[in-house]
């Protein structure tokens, strides 16, 4: 079983680029999309109160109502979320001072993955870069931060180990990977001869919507999806 | 550097750049303030940065600079910033923070009254500050939490910058193959 926990950043990118139906399509191909309550709050409940975002909230709510995206709140979620937030927010230090890197929503996504059964294929769908780098390559994050702060930026190894515990085997994907895989499975088939154009422009739109994907990576997708 | 001293120095710069009508330095100060507000978890520095950005945007618009309302507001702001600087120097951090926040509320009201802005100048400043924090390590959620703005607006703004170019890790082919495996069992 593959469990894909969705951070709000990816749902926002997909929604803002009119690609939210990719979740419906991939659900039919075995994807199990899950969100924690904090993400539901961020993408549905909070924006529903704001005129300019209410329609997006309705579309995302429909995905939850249709069972395409499931909200899960297992009993240990709050305590695991707190443990992850504490560890992540002590794991990188600037001149000895811990950087408060992540927020409750991102921590709750990771907590869901930590709690999930060990035999599940655990995947985090996230478009913002900090959570992804903490999982995939904290060293890359620290190198970039050294460039920004131009001072001592170090990893607190004990806090990083505490953060990584139970998250070692997680795969991280972004909305771009969802679109690319969906395209390879025929998501854009209705576009006929324009299907390839639709795929590449959809990927480009995700970058413009904020997804942390580089222009080199987008060019590489041209080759991968040929 | 102690918090009060940092705030006093920042307020002094904010006042000096406003007095000199120096929009470039105000914009640069707003970026520094966002970075420091994130690093030191200091809401007063965030407000100072939001004010710096708002002042810069007002100063960019000749029709605002020539208006009676701006002349009155800027005179008032200069006086209030002098008081704020003194509060911070004397360790009266709460009083200083409150004065800055009140100035920010008034800048927002001025933006609504005078501006031909589709969105409030202060709201734009929050989005810009959140982007600066994101560049300095904050996750999207953390940056939005601190600046009290909206994720969609911040992410869309980030999408128009070059920030995404810096954080590639795995190769695209590997990512694609990893993702493909998730959807193989119909």
Chain A residues 65-84 with a CB less than 8 Å from chain B? none
Structure confidence at residue A200 (pLDDT): 96
Asked if residue B118 belongs to a domain, the reply is yes
Structure confidence at residue B185 (pLDDT): 55
Q: A94, B141: Cβ pair inside 8 Å? A: no
C-beta of residue A131 within 8 angstroms of C-beta of residue A106: yes
The CATH architecture annotation of domain A2-175 reads 3-Layer(aba) Sandwich (3.40)
Q: B186, A8: Cβ pair inside 8 Å? A: no
Structure confidence at residue B1 (pLDDT): 66
Asked if residue B186 belongs to a domain, the reply is no
How is residue A103 written in tokens?
């927020």
At A12-54, the pLDDT tens digits run: 999 999 999 999 999 999 999 999 999 999 999 888 788 888 8
> What is the span of the domain harbouring residue B167?
3-181
Which residues have a Cβ under 8 Å from the Cβ of A18 and sit 6 or more positions away? none
Structure confidence at residue A54 (pLDDT): 87
Chain A residues 183-212 with a CB less than 8 Å from chain B? 184-185, 207-212
The structural domain count of chain B equals 1
Domain boundaries, chain A: 2-175
Structure confidence at residue B4 (pLDDT): 87
Alpha helix segments (H runs only) across A29-164 = 37-40, 54-65, 77-88, 104-115, 129-136, 138-149, 157-164
* Average pLDDT per block of 10 residues along chain B, 186 residues long: 89 98 98 97 97 96 93 97 96 96 95 79 96 97 96 94 88 94 76
Handedness of CA A205, A40, A51, B55 (dihedral sign): negative
Alpha helix segments (H runs only) across chain B = 3-19, 23-40, 43-59, 62-65, 68-89, 93-114, 121-135, 140-147, 151-159, 172-181
Task: With a cut of 50, list the residues of chain A below it in pLDDT.
Answer: none
Using CA atoms, how far residue B86 sits from B19, B42, B72, B97, in Å, is 17, 18, 22, 12
Which candidate in B130, B149, B155, B171 is best for mutational testing of the A interface (most A CBs within 10 A)? B155
Strand partners, A98: A93
Structure confidence at residue A150 (pLDDT): 86
Asked if residue B137 belongs to a domain, the reply is yes
Strand partners, A169: none
Whether B40 has its CB under 8 Å from any CB of chain A: the answer is yes
pTM of structure: 0.94
Q: A99, B38: Cβ pair inside 8 Å? A: yes
Structure confidence at residue A221 (pLDDT): 93
């Amino acid at each position: 079983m593959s469990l894909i926990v969705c951070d709000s950043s990816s749902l926002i990118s997909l929604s803002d680029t009119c690609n939210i139906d990719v979740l419906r399509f991939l659900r039919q191909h075995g994807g199990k999309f899950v969100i924690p309550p904090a993400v539901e709050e961020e993408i549905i409940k909070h924006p529903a109160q704001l005129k300019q975002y209410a329609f997006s909230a309705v579309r995302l709510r429909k995905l939850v109502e249709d069972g395409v995206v499931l909200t899960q709140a297992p009993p240990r979620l709050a305590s695991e979320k707190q443990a992850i937030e504490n560890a992540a927010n002590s794991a990188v230090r600037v001149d000895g001072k811990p950087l408060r890197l992540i927020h409750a929503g991102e921590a709750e996504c990771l907590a869901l993955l930590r709690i999930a059964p060990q035999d599940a294929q655990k995947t985090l769908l996230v478009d913002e870069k900090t959570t992804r780098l903490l999982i995939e390559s904290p060293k890359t994050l620290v190198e970039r931060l050294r460039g920004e702060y131009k001072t001592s930026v170090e990893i607190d190894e004990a806090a990083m180990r505490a953060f990584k515990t139970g998250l070692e085997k997680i795969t991280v994907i972004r909305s771009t990977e969802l679109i690319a895989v969906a395209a390879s499975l025929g998501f854009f088939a209705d576009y006929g001869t324009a299907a390839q154009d639709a795929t590449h422009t959809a990927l480009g739109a995700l970058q413009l919507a904020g997804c942390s994907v580089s222009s080199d990576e987008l060019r590489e997708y041209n080759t991968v999806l040929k | 550097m102690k918090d009060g001293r940092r705030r006093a120095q920042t307020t002094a710069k904010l006042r000096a750049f406003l007095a000199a009508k120096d929009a470039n330095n105000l914009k640069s100060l707003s970026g520094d303030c966002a970075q420091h507000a994130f690093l030191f978890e200091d809401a007063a520095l965030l407000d100072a940065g939001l004010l710096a950005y708002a002042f810069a945007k007002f100063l960019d618009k000749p029709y605002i600079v020539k208006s009676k309302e701006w002349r009155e507001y800027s005179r008032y702001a200069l006086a209030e910033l002098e008081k704020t600087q003194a509060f911070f120097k004397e360790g009266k951090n709460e009083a200083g923070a409150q004065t800055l926040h009140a100035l920010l509320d008034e800048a927002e009201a001025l933006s609504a009254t005078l501006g031909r802005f589709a969105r409030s100048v202060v709201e734009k400043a929050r989005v810009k500050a959140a982007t600066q924090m994101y560049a300095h390590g904050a996750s999207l959620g953390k940056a939005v939490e601190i600046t009290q703005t909206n994720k969609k607006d911040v992410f869309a703004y980030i999408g128009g910058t070059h920030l995404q170019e810096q954080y590639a890790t795995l190769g695209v082919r590997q990512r694609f193959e990893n993702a493909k495996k998730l959807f193989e069992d119909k």
